[in-house]
Amino acid sequence: MLNGIGIAGVRAQAMDAQGNLVDDFVFDGGVGDLGSRVLHVRNAPSPGATSSLAIAKMVVEKASEKFSL
């Protein structure tokens, strides 16, 4: 039962090699043939939807670079 005391949660957050939280989005591809056709957006924690248009603009810019659009 949830009583509001000591409740733990899970939060997906990227960390750098020193264990510090990364404060920005991480755009990454992959390896091999498939990786050259993929653009991952990592470390997009909630409330990402509140800035979804700004995120979309960043994705378009990165995709345009990566895929020569």
Is 54 within the bounds of a domain?
Answer: yes
Domain that holds residue 57: 26-67
The answer to whether 42 touches 25, Cβ cutoff 8 Å, is: yes
- Bigger pLDDT: 45 vs 30: 30
Is 17 within the bounds of a domain?
Answer: no
Q: Considering its fold, how many domains does the chain have in total?
A: 1
CA 65/CA 69 separation, integer angstroms:
7
| Reported confidence tier of residue 61, pLDDT bands at 50, 70, 90 | very high
Looking at residue 69, its pLDDT comes to: 86
Angle at 58 between CA 31 and CA 41, to 5 degrees: 40
Which DSSP string corresponds to 7-42?
--------B-TTSPBP-S-EEE--SHHHHTT--EEE
Is 7 within the bounds of a domain?
Answer: no
Is 32 within the bounds of a domain?
Answer: yes
CA 29/CA 3 separation, integer angstroms:
43
